[in-house]
Amino acid sequence: MKVLVVGGAGYIGSVCAELLLNEGHSVGIFDNLSEGHRRAVDSRATFMEGDLADRDRIQSCLAEFEPEAVMHFAASALVGESMENPSKYFRNNIGNGLNLLDAMVATGRNQLVFSSTCATFGPPDKVPIDESLPQRPINPYGESKLAFEKILRWYGEIHGLRFISLRYFNAAGASENFGEEHRVETHLIPNVLQVALGLKPHVEIYGTDYDTPDGTCIRDYIHILDLARAHILALEARKSEFYNLGTGGGSSVREVIDCCRRVTGHKIPVVEKPRRAGDPPRLIAASDKIQKELGWRPQFQNLDAIIESAWKWHRKFPSGYGD
């Protein structure tokens, strides 16, 4: 299959492109490199630099490359930043996303796999979070993704767009060649590993008095390879659908740090800080629906395996992508 990966120079997009290529697909990557990295573009892929804000550019790339399907990862994704600059999130995640959809309609491309988020649910009524729970986002990031999901429904009804929207929380780990490096790093595992690499003096824990076994927040960590396989499986879906993705379990902040200590052999000092506003004690996604309907099964449910893969990549590329 010929697949255009929009945002394919970023963390999740780069690994999805790599696996697609490994499985014999033809891959194009469209990215403006504002958050992604040129060195994260697989050399086997066709790279097209461009911004979704430029409707003509994405439309010309779609017309030239003629993909059978599109994967969409090009979104702003920092919850805290979305509370400070909501305009950026609504313009990029909704407005620029609309440019992609309209360009797809104009060029006759009608299959999309959308990288969404469980942040569309907000604080859940229960965990694990399944697709039946009400969606009540509490930040502009989650709101922008939910708005785009609603737009997808209408484009499906009016234009015949076939889509799969995948919602998940914490992508983690690495492939052999591509790993996690954000220009502003807010994710726990890479921040802990930067301490082990000697790049930071300590890791910070925000809140130690939550109603959890060790007092720290519990999150659902999903291996980037399992996540990429879910996106590739979504290409085979016969009808439009929304799926939650997770391991069905979770790890606390302290458990993640302890695991990083075991894997790296470093002490990793900790500084405890007060809670951050809006951090729920426990966020875990249920994946029963996608397992039943698409046959997806996570292969790396062990936290050690996730962190070992990330540590291997960070040791191999201690300076990251260097751009």
Q: Give the active site residues.
A: 141
CA-nearest of 35, 36, 116, 115 to 71 is: 115
CA distance 250 to 22: 30
CA-nearest of 91, 74, 83 to 141 is: 83
CA-nearest of 253, 322, 321, 323 to 11 is: 321
CA-nearest of 1, 3, 4, 5 to 178 is: 5
Distances (CA, A) of 253 to 55, 160, 202, 286, 318: 41, 43, 14, 20, 23
